[in-house]
């Protein structure tokens, strides 16, 4: 039943965005933002009024997560007489009936607009000649848009935080430097500088140029790969919304083991057949290392690193490198005392904590805002602590009953281990 609902949701959302992009100007949407219940603009085309009213009805009536209802932050071209290449995209917030902050809501809808560019390219969206054709072409976006919307109410198997933080989820393993050496040579052999090795859907190693991609591009790639189900490899044309919105790359991925894969951004070459030959040549001798790296899961850190037993789960973000390290089960064994906090429950608690405090109670490092550097939240069955230090933001889930000064001490120690331990590089 759930699967049948997702496609219509994506379909209607894209349909509405296309209609509004075509028929409305930024000023229309600003008027709509002030009139949340009904739009009646006497001097506007009927199509404009219909599109805006449909958006309002869609946000209130569709079977979407309630936190999305009533808000859309869109990047729409100003449809004026300027040449297409001079058009700019203006963020517009429509309504705000939600417990989420504008920061997170804008992020969600930005991802939707970037998804359209990601699949079709900017030219196709700016120079709309046939609306019906465009809507048909946009069908390829539906799975990724559904994934973005699902982030408000994640599926049980989702363990990553990238859709929420906009940072790349990574795994720290002792084999990282060895993997980087193999990956650089492998990428060079197939004629690209963009490559990464993923273990358990998290980046374990990457070429230097991979990290020069914009965070939204890395996020789009990660979300796309999370949607793909394949036996050996995939080969998909994509546009990079920031680096290359008009000229496509090929996103090529090859499965190395059941839980590891290598991903490349390249041009017309190599073919998948040629790639398979290079994969065997460079990665055949690394299978033992891959199995060792996979054993770091679910703590996602080397097995010889031990965290305080009270750390039930954590999320650490490096705002300078735009990467995040997290774990829902940081210990090899767990006692029955916290069995009520399943991995899914811990994930949901951390995600809710992040959405609640970031942008309101606490700001990411580097922000010009002067707000608190730490936040405590204590509940009947668990406690939460967030701390900003240098370029890092760390969120930790603890059992209940611990004093705040003790939580602060553990959090600081945990952060130091995860960011300065010699064997924990990410």
Domain boundaries, the chain: 2-150, 173-294, 313-420
Per-residue pLDDT, 364: 83
Binned at pLDDT 50, 70 and 90, residue 146 comes out as confident
Name every residue whose Cβ is closer than 8 Å to that of residue 299 and which is 6 or more positions away in sequence: 305, 307, 327, 329, 330, 331, 332
For residues 260 and 198, is the Cβ–Cβ distance under 8 A? yes
CATH architecture entry for 313-420: 2-Layer Sandwich (3.30)
For residues 59 and 38, is the Cβ–Cβ distance under 8 A? no
Per-residue pLDDT, 228: 72
State if pTM tops 0.85. no
* Mean pLDDT, all residues of the chain: 78
Q: If you average pLDDT over each of 24-33, 67-76, 79-88, 399-408, which comes out highest?
A: 399-408
Domains 173-294 and 313-420 share a fold: yes
Instruction: Classify residue 381 by its DSSP letter.
Output: S
Measured CA to CA, the distance from residue 114 to residue 248 in angstroms comes to 14
Measured CA to CA, the distance from residue 385 to residue 371 in angstroms comes to 16
Per-residue pLDDT, 338: 64
Mean pLDDT confidence for 390-416: 96
Measured CA to CA, the distance from residue 254 to residue 83 in angstroms comes to 42
Where is average pLDDT lowest: 162-176, 299-313, 337-351? 337-351
Mean pLDDT confidence for 182-199: 96
What is the tally of helices (H) and strands (E) in the chain? 14, 13
Name the CATH topology of 173-294. Answer: Beta-Lactamase (3.30.450)
Binned at pLDDT 50, 70 and 90, residue 48 comes out as very low
Backbone region of residue 366 per phi and psi (left: phi > 0; alpha: psi in -120 to 50; beta: other values): left
């Amino acid at each position: 039943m759930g699967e049948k609902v997702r496609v219509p949701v994506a379909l209607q959302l894209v349909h509405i965005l296309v209609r509004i992009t075509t028929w409305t100007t930024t000023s229309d949407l600003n008027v709509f933002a002030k009139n949340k219940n009904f739009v009646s603009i006497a001097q506007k085309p009927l199509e404009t009024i219909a599109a805006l009213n449909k958006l309002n009805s869609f946000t209130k009536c569709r079977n979407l997560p309630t936190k999305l209802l009533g808000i859309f932050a869109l990047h729409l071209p100003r449809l004026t007489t300027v040449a297409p290449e001079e058009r700019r995209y203006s963020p517009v917030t429509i309504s705000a009936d939600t417990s989420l902050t504008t920061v997170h809501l804008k992020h969600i809808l930005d991802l939707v607009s970037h998804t359209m560019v990601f699949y079709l390219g900017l030219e196709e969206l700016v120079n709309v000649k046939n609306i019906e054709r465009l809507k048909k072409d946009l069908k390829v976006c539906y799975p990724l848009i559904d994934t973005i919307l699902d982030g408000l109410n994640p599926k049980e198997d989702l363990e990553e935080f990238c859709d929420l933080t906009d940072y790349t989820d990574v795994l720290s393993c002792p084999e990282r430097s060895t993997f980087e050496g193999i990956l650089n040579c492998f990428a060079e052999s197939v004629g690209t500088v963009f490559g990464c090795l993923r273990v358990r859907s998290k980046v374990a190693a990457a070429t230097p140029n991979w990290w020069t991609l914009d965070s939204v591009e890395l996020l789009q790639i990660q979300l796309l790969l999370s949607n793909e189900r394949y036996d050996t490899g995939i080969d998909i044309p994509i546009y990079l919304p920031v680096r290359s919105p008009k000229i496509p790359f090929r996103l090529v991925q090859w499965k190395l083991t059941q839980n590891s894969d290598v991903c490349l951004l390249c041009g017309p070459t190599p073919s998948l057949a040629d790639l398979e030959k290079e994969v065997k040549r460079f990665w055949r001798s690394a299978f033992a290392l891959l199995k060792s790296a996979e054993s770091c899961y679910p703590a996602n850190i080397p097995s010889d690193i031990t965290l305080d037993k009270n750390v039930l789960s954590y999320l650490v973000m490096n705002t300078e490198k735009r990467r995040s390290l997290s774990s829902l089960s940081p210990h090899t064994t767990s006692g029955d005392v916290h069995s009520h906090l399943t991995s899914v429950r811990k994930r949901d608690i951390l995600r809710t904590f992040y959405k609640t405090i970031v942008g309101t109670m606490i700001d990411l490092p580097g922000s010009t805002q002067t707000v608190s550097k730490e936040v405590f939240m204590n509940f009947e069955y668990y406690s939460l602590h967030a701390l900003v230090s240098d370029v890092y933001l760390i969120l930790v889930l603890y059992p209940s009953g611990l004093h705040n000064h003790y939580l602060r001490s553990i959090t600081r120690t945990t952060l130091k281990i995860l960011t300065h331990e010699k064997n924990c590089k990410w």
